Structures are given as structure tokens and as C-alpha cells.
């Protein structure tokens, strides 16, 4: 994919971590709305978030919580806002109703016309931090069964939203592309390459790793849109390379190293400065919609 002057910038506001893992994340509806608006006004055309039960501080995938957040953000800014799904495999995460239950909030949000994208992660991975392995604690298996993947893509196909693929390992890309080929009329997936400094999955944020992903993407899903992101990571080493190759960038407290003292707005503003200093500009939501429709 050729480079463009319009750089896609996504802000991932909170993730599933809770404040015990990432103290600075927004949790209440009002907090998430305010940070989403601020990041969009600063230049992020895509906002990703996890809904929370403010009383417990835990992720709660309730469509009504998501709806209130989406409507609050969109009342002020034109931005692509999309939800998550329960983090299957993490301690304390209970999912009722199988694959349909896991995507129940996504399905209802689509029925209400509130989403343009949603998470569909095409694979399973061990999520463990180096420090936890060194401390003898290990991690957990982030599980996405074939039934879950099929449910997510079936909803994307029938309810007309774009799947946002998190690519934790190269096999995620191959499986996601193969599954998408079986649904030729489905809205095009976005491939989000997940790098990490703190976790042991996939690749570190280095140039050879991006080259490998792009070579594989060219074979499996040529012409697809993509961006660099991750967990427990600073993607700055990949920013210029991604822009040169026509990719997007994701920043924010979901992806940032745990315990960072920076805010979502800090990350967005810093990346916007980098985009502008490179002679480019942050893409608008309208530009991204048009490009995804043509992918």
C-alpha cells in the first residue's frame, strides 16, 4: 500500500485492564465520553473503548453502557467509535451463552445502528508479561474459538460493520484472511498488527517485524488496510515506518506500558505532532470510511 498524506490515528482509551493494572484509564461513562471527545478533537478519527461497571471497576459488556458512551461522543464530534468483546480466558471473566453471548452487545449495537466497526480477533494466544514469567506467575490464554470467530464475522457480514482484527501472531492474519475470503460480500477487515515490549506474544516493535507482517499481508489479503498497535508497548519506533508504508497508528492507555504517567490525550497529541512534523496530517473519519468501503 502506498504512503498517503492522510494518516489514520486511533485512540484506544482503556482496555480491559482495570485501574489496578493501568491507573489512568477512564472508567465511568462521563470519563470515557470526555476523553473520547478530547482525543477526537486532537486528531484521532477512530476511538476504541471498553465499557465498565463503574461500581466494580470491571469491564461490563452491556450494550446500553456502550450506547450512552457512543452517543455522548458523537454528539460533539464526527468519529468512528467501536466496542470490544469480553476478554475470554482472563481471570474472573465469565461469559454466558457461548459465542452468541460473547457478541450479544455487539449485535444489539449493530441493530441500533451505533457501530461501524467491531473487534473480531481471529486466533488464540498466550498473554503473559515478562515480569510475571520471571516472578513465576505466568499469564493466561486469550481464547477465540472458531465458533467465536464465526459469530463475529457472521454479524459483520449480516449487520454490515467492519471487523477490526487484532493480529497477535502471524497465524491470526492467515486465519483472518482465510475466513474473510469465505464471506466475499462482508465489509473489509482492518488488520491491526499487535506488538509488545512487556508481553511475550508476537513481535517487539521493530522494523523487521513490520516487514514480516506486511509481506504476509500482501500474500494473504493484498490491498487491505492496516495499522500498528499493541499491548504494553511504545509504538514510536514504528511510527515513521508505518506512515511511509501507508499504515495507520494506534495509541492510548489500552496499549501503553502499564503504570504510565501519561494520559490518552498526551499520547494522541504527541502522535499528531509527529504526523504533522513528517509533512502529513491526521485523516478524518470521513476519509477512513471512504477508504474502508473501497478496500
* Structure confidence at residue 25 (pLDDT): 98
Domain limits of the chain? 6-294
pLDDT band (50, 70, 90) for residue 3: low
Say how far apart CA 253 and CA 255 lie, in whole Å: 5
Q: What secondary structure letter does DSSP report for 157?
A: H
Asked if residues 249 and 7 have their Cβ atoms less than 8 Å apart, the reply is yes
* Structure confidence at residue 170 (pLDDT): 98
- String of DSSP letters for 47-67: EE---EETTTTEE---HHHHH
Query: Does the pLDDT of residue 153 top 90, yes or no?
Result: yes
Q: What is the pLDDT of residues 93-152, one digit of tens each?
A: 778 889 999 999 999 999 999 999 999 999 999 999 999 999 999 899 999 999 999 999
Say how far apart CA 268 and CA 292 lie, in whole Å: 22
pLDDT band (50, 70, 90) for residue 2: low
Say how far apart CA 260 and CA 100 lie, in whole Å: 35
Q: What is the pLDDT of residues 159-203, one digit of tens each?
A: 999 999 999 999 999 999 999 999 999 999 999 999 999 999 999
- How many residues are given for the chain? 295
Q: What is the pLDDT of residues 59-101, one digit of tens each?
A: 999 999 999 999 999 999 999 999 999 987 777 777 888 999 9
Asked if residues 193 and 208 have their Cβ atoms less than 8 Å apart, the reply is no
CA atoms within 13 A on the CB side of 40: 25
Residues β-bridged to residue 11:
47, 251
* Structure confidence at residue 295 (pLDDT): 87
pLDDT band (50, 70, 90) for residue 38: very high
- What share of the chain in percent tops pLDDT 70? 99
* Structure confidence at residue 1 (pLDDT): 54
Asked if residues 82 and 65 have their Cβ atoms less than 8 Å apart, the reply is no
| Mean pLDDT of the 219-244 span | 98
Q: What is the pLDDT of residues 184-196, one digit of tens each?
A: 999 999 999 999 9
* CATH fold label, 6-294: TIM Barrel (3.20.20)
Q: What is the dihedral of CA 96, 99, 101, 106, to 10 degrees?
A: 150
Q: Give me the chain's average pLDDT, please.
A: 96
* Structure confidence at residue 94 (pLDDT): 74
- What share of the chain in percent tops pLDDT 90? 94
Quick one: cell of 156? Answer: 459483520
Amino acid at each position: 500500500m502506498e504512503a498517503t498524506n492522510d494518516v489514520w490515528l486511533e485512540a484506544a482509551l482503556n482496555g480491559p485492564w482495570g485501574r489496578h493494572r493501568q491507573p489512568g484509564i477512564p472508567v465511568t461513562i462521563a470519563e470515557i465520553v470526555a476523553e473520547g471527545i478530547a482525543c477526537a478533537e486532537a486528531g484521532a478519527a477512530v476511538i476504541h473503548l471498553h465499557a465498565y461497571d463503574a461500581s466494580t471497576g470491571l469491564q461490563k459488556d452491556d450494550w446500553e453502557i456502550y450506547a450512552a458512551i457512543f452517543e455522548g461522543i458523537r454528539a460533539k464530534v464526527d468519529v468512528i467509535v467501536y466496542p470490544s468483546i469480553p476478554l475470554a480466558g482472563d481471570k474472573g471473566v465469565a461469559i454466558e451463552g457461548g459465542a452468541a453471548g460473547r457478541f450479544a452487545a455487539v449485535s444489539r449495537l449493530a441493530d441500533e445502528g451505533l457501530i461501524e466497526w467491531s473487534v473480531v480477533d481471529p486466533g488464540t494466544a498466550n498473554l503473559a508479561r515478562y515480569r510475571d514469567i520471571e516472578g513465576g506467575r505466568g499469564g493466561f490464554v486469550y481464547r477465540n474459538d472458531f465458533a467465536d470467530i464465526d459469530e463475529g464475522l457472521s454479524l459483520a457480514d449480516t449487520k454490515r460493520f467492519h471487523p477490526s482484527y487484532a493480529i497477535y501472531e502471524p497465524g491470526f492474519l492467515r486465519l483472518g484472511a482465510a475466513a474473510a475470503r469465505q464471506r466475499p460480500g462482508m465489509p473489509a477487515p482492518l488488520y491491526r498488527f499487535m506488538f509488545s515490549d512487556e508481553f511475550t506474544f508476537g513481535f517487539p516493535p521493530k522494523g523487521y517485524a513490520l516487514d514480516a507482517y506486511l509481506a504476509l499481508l500482501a500474500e494473504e489479503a493484498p490491498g487491505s488496510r492496516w495499522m500498528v498497535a499493541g499491548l504494553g508497548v511504545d509504538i514510536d519506533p514504528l511510527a515513521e515506518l508505518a506512515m511511509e508504508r501507508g499504515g495507520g497508528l494506534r495509541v492510548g492507555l489500552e496499549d501503553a506500558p502499564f503504570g504510565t504517567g501519561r494520559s490518552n490525550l498526551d499520547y494522541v497529541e504527541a502522535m499528531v505532532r509527529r504526523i504533522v512534523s513528517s509533512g502529513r496530517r491526521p485523516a478524518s473519519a470521513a476519509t477512513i470510511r471512504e477508504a474502508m468501503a473501497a478496500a
